[in-house]
Amino acid sequence: PSAAAGPGLAGRGRAMGKPMPAGGCGTQKASAAFVLGLAVAILAVLLGPAFTTSPRFDFDAGARSPQCPARVTNATLFDLQGDGAAGVGGSGSQRQNLDFTSARDGRGLSLGNLYDRFVVTFRDYKLVGEHKARLSQRLNARLNETQRSAWEWVDRKNVALKYPTDFGLVAVKDRSVLDVLRSVDVVRDVFADAKMAGRRELLGTTEREHKLALEMVSDSLKPGDILAKGPGRLHTPFSSDRLGEPSRHGRGLISRALSFAQGFNFSSFKRSQIKSLYKPEELWKKGITGKGIKVGIFDTGVREDHPDLKNIAMRVNFTYQQSTSDGLGHGSFVAGCIASVSPGCPSNAPDVALHTFKVFTDDQTSYTSWYLDALNYAMVVKLHIINVSIGGPDWSDKPFVHKFRELVGQGVIIICAHGNAGPDYGTANNPGDEHWSIAVGGHTDDFKIAHFQSRGHTMQEKPFGYGRIKPDVVAYGHQVSSLRMERGCKEASGTSVASPVAAGIAALVASSVPESEWHYKLTPASMKQVLQEGAERLPRESIYIQGPGKANLHKSFEAMQRYEPKVTVFPGSIDLLDQDYMWPLSKTPLYATAMPLIMNLTITNGLGAHGYFEKEPEFTATNKLGEALDVHFERINVLWPWSGWIAIFVQVRDSGRNLTGVAEGVISFTIRSPPFPGEREGRSQRVEVPFKAKVIRTPDRNKRVLWDDYHNIQYPPEYVPIDDLNYRKEMLDWNGDHPHTNFHPVFDALTDNGYYVEVLGSSLTCFDASNYGTLALVDSEGEFHAEEIEKLHNDVSEGGLGLLIVGEWWNKQQMRRMKFFDDNTRDIWTPIVGGANVPALNRLLADFGIAFSDEITTGQIRLGRNVVSVNTGTSIKAFPARSSLFTLDGGLSPVLGLTRVGQGNVLAFGDTSAFDFNTHANLVPSLFLDFVKYTAGVAYPSWFKAGTVHNEAYENGNMRARLPNPSEGLDAKTLKILRRPLECHTNARRPKEMPVAERPLKPEEPVANPVVPDAEVIMNGIHKVEEKVATAVDGLLDVNHALTGPSEEDATSNAGGAMPHTGIVQAYFQRQLFGFLVVVVCLCVLIVWRKVHSGKRSKLRATKNRYTRLRQIV
């Protein structure tokens, strides 16, 4: 191959060396069919992939030439040899390409299969060889002969291993080795090397992996058991084209053309560009283009010489694939959202130094160990910003979360996708739900929240507290135009798109900071502060949907110019009179005897990575009614990294039963941090948060509903299955079952009709039943203490408390069917409960004579004008005398029962589908309102007389409706998970005689002086450990200027940032219009050719006829 051609030609699909014949695979005469076929092919390609079923040709992945499918070009052969060596890119600038992946079996594992790989985290940073020798010596000394041969150190091959690391990878065949491994003194913890997959439909196994999994679990599986889940850490899907809209695939030419024509709107086209939406040109004119800022993209990689990316400073591969290039297109798209210079889809920060970390394969697969190595190397490279376009519900994934937190402690800005699980509530994704990350939601080009964005407060804090507010900012994420894998632009949607858009804004703003001020202006805290300060609130959207609002590039830039280290709190003020923005908290006013109103505030500490409270927070009333408030706090002990949290609990004193009006006050506290470099003394700042809330007279008892949240158990960490077994988009119950998340339609229906909903986050012994008309137990998975059972019976039968129970399916056989092998934990997962914990509910309701069955019921029930769907619920097995029961249409078993027990009304219903927003069923929240009216003694439902009255105790005789084993779930292991302590926490009402148990800190909360490894220590450790490694590192850093940014010549030659905007049509539809003109020209050529050809044939026929007539005459 010609050296002048360079590897860049391979990326564009050209052949190096001898050119291909101009005619393609062979010389062919032009024909009408060829011309017409060419025109149709061009039109199909331009209008989208749905026109054709032809395979996608991927030159970087070594695909065949599209001209000659049977021939492999020189360019393809070059790529198959790998592109890991440093070379000359198409733009002439040098790049760093590092690919040290193993090629042994595609996985680098010699002990058999991926199901026995475990990450071993150590207590210190050392070179991998030292870790291996030290662990082998200590571990083998504790193992017997058989166990020593049952484990092996797994060698990893990537550039990060030239530096000290804090973890290793081992393969284990005998599980008994793991217990010994955890007891080794140098080992911090052991985790499975968790698999992550970009789309849930890709979570299947290969045939070989599936057989290996079956072999491992065969002893535990029983006949009829199935594996319902493929391997992979469940998380938000990658961005996808027109996410949430009907698929384009399979649509015909006419419908495609009509939709294309209907969508032709010039203003919409212009606004769908990142550049035209944020208008960075004003900053570019000032020389602010992102230059000098290192942005890491943890994705599927990017091709080396992408023509629309100016400064790809480094490409590193951590996967088992032998290429740092992008074979999927997602990494290229994400990079384009940050730094594209394409005239069709320009972005905000064209001159940033892109550092691409390939941690996902082209089939969207990744592993925890890949991420850990990549993140360790990111600290060595000293990135400023990392974009992470993934997330998931598993906030308990410790190695993954802790490593990201460590990077933030080192000053790296982590910008994450908020999640694509919308419009469902309670779906904030991790790590975006952490207080130290910057979570990015998505909006459309007309500044409305995108339908796919996750919503609601975070779930980590349940049930002891209330989730924090996320996202931290909202950016453009719907039908965003960015780069293709090769060249040109395409559209995609998702918060994994909005996240790099926000990262581009952050990079551009960061490049305005002089390097001498980086240590205090370019930090995770300062960037979150300026993004939030510049954000603009969207109308009629809750703070738990939009956070501070949509990103504004220019306001954030101005905020950065005047920035000084400070402490901020979000929200900066609490005004519960703002009905839309503060929903749902604004819909429940304060009154005496109510459960505390809880808010979780995020503290961003720009004074330093560490901080602490100088004294306890306090509340100061600023008006007379504010003096009637009792405000107490919970807080993190140490603010690290760069952030923390404080929870406020607000209630009206008992003496304020008749007070009305607006209570006002100020929450204040002081944060102190150590000094910055060059300073002698630390800094401190007093923070004040204004508070305003409506106070009303204590409502009548029958208007107050208490929702039990203490007995709702969710994923993670246990396998709690989905309630609706027919709902195929989800298998885990992780949305909270809270009136502010997936049951928010019920909350709105009740509050709109004059009811007041409070949440109980402590045991049933921690509320005064005389204050409430209804206690609602909805989809309870928890176990109950004997004290709770006794108190509840007395509260209902003697105290007149109304009891509303909404159950869910529970069936032992169905739970066994849902068993699966989880490659994250290398264990068989079996549901800990069903949709609800029916055996526990039956124990709770035994004194009432009520019991649910293990029958799974599906159908409809008619209640007045409402036709209510029951989707895989449960049925009633037993009910007391003098009750009214309702069965499904055509069914045998009742699913709804109403009765009176002593002084209180009791209602039991067997399914939540009519109330759960996230199952997308036919919602009937007004039915829940009817239920509450009955249990509170306000009114009988209009459909009450339609039920079957039983004057004697009822027992279901249906053979399918069996009573679950009364002792089910009472074993020690299950009780440890499902029975929460019999305690009254800070979230309960605090009468003087009731002790309040302090909520324990979460395991991941830092101690007073956390040990945070320094990137400088990692770098300097090389010189202390081995001089040869230091020399190698110096040589590596001298390869090019990848770690220091582009040269002055490069910056001069690319002055102005992106290519100039030359008009909406040219910028956005240049390719489409060009293709249209090509098609028109082809058709014209066809018409001319046919006319010329037909003219020749006519002349030939005329000549022939003349000669025929002459022969006849002769």
pLDDT, averaged across the chain:
78
pLDDT digits (tens, 9 = 90+) for 849-896: 999 999 999 999 999 888 999 999 999 999 999 999 999 988 789 999
* Cα first-last separation, the chain: 69
Specify the pLDDT at position 1084.
81
Distance between CA atoms of residues 945 and 174, nearest Å: 64
Distance between CA atoms of residues 839 and 784, nearest Å: 10
User: Catalytic site residue 854?
Assistant: no
Provide the pairing of β-strand 473-476 with 480-483.
unpaired
Closest listed residue to residue 139, CA positions, set 159, 154, 153, 126: 153
pLDDT digits (tens, 9 = 90+) for 202-219: 222 333 444 454 444 444
pLDDT digits (tens, 9 = 90+) for 352-361: 999 999 999 9
Judge whether residue 243 has pLDDT over 80. Answer: no
Between 1035 and 750, name the one with better pLDDT: 750
Specify the pLDDT at position 385.
97
Specify the pLDDT at position 66.
31
Can you read off the two tokens belonging to residue 799? 């105290």
Judge whether residue 1053 has pLDDT over 80. Answer: no
The helix or strand, by DSSP H or E, that contains position 284, with its residue range, turns out to be: helix 281-285
Integer-rounded Cα Rg, in Å, for the chain is 33
Specify the pLDDT at position 625.
96
Can you read off the two tokens belonging to residue 837? 């914990």
Distance between CA atoms of residues 955 and 876, nearest Å: 8
Closest listed residue to residue 107, CA positions, set 302, 378, 388, 365: 365
pLDDT digits (tens, 9 = 90+) for 729-780: 778 888 999 999 999 999 999 999 999 999 999 999 999 999 999 999 999 9
User: Catalytic site residue 54?
Assistant: no
User: Catalytic site residue 496?
Assistant: yes
Closest listed residue to residue 545, CA positions, set 431, 469, 465: 469
Specify the pLDDT at position 990.
63
- Contact, 843 vs 784, CB < 8 A? yes
Judge whether residue 63 has pLDDT over 60. Answer: no
pLDDT digits (tens, 9 = 90+) for 364-420: 888 889 999 999 999 999 999 999 988 888 887 788 899 999 999 999 999 999 999
Distance between CA atoms of residues 552 and 969, nearest Å: 53
Residues of the chain with pLDDT > 90, as a percent, come to: 58
Pick the catalytic residue from 330, 435, 711, 793. Answer: 330
Give the lowest-confidence range in 104-108, 842-846, 884-888: 104-108
Specify the pLDDT at position 270.
45
175: pLDDT confidence band, cut at 50, 70 and 90? confident
Query: What is the rounded average pLDDT of the residues 290-308?
Result: 93
Can you read off the two tokens belonging to residue 1039? 């390869």
Judge whether residue 80 has pLDDT over 50. Answer: no
Distance between CA atoms of residues 369 and 156, nearest Å: 9
Distance between CA atoms of residues 448 and 455, nearest Å: 14
Pick the catalytic residue from 79, 99, 299, 351. Answer: 299
Between 94 and 807, name the one with better pLDDT: 807
Bond before 584 cis per omega within 30 degrees: yes
1075: pLDDT confidence band, cut at 50, 70 and 90? low
Judge whether residue 2 has pLDDT over 90. Answer: no
Distance between CA atoms of residues 241 and 988, nearest Å: 46
pLDDT digits (tens, 9 = 90+) for 951-982: 999 999 888 899 998 888 888 888 888 999 99
Specify the pLDDT at position 1097.
60
Specify the pLDDT at position 746.
97
Distance between CA atoms of residues 273 and 276, nearest Å: 5
Pick the catalytic residue from 240, 340, 389, 496. Answer: 496
pLDDT digits (tens, 9 = 90+) for 1095-1110: 666 665 665 565 555 4
pLDDT digits (tens, 9 = 90+) for 575-612: 999 999 999 999 999 999 999 999 999 999 999 999 99
- Contact, 505 vs 531, CB < 8 A? yes
Residues of the chain with pLDDT > 70, as a percent, come to: 73
Specify the pLDDT at position 1016.
44
DSSP letter for 945, please. Answer: G
3: pLDDT confidence band, cut at 50, 70 and 90? very low
Give the lowest-confidence range in 102-106, 507-511, 923-927: 102-106
Closest listed residue to residue 551, CA positions, set 508, 587, 613: 508
111: pLDDT confidence band, cut at 50, 70 and 90? very low
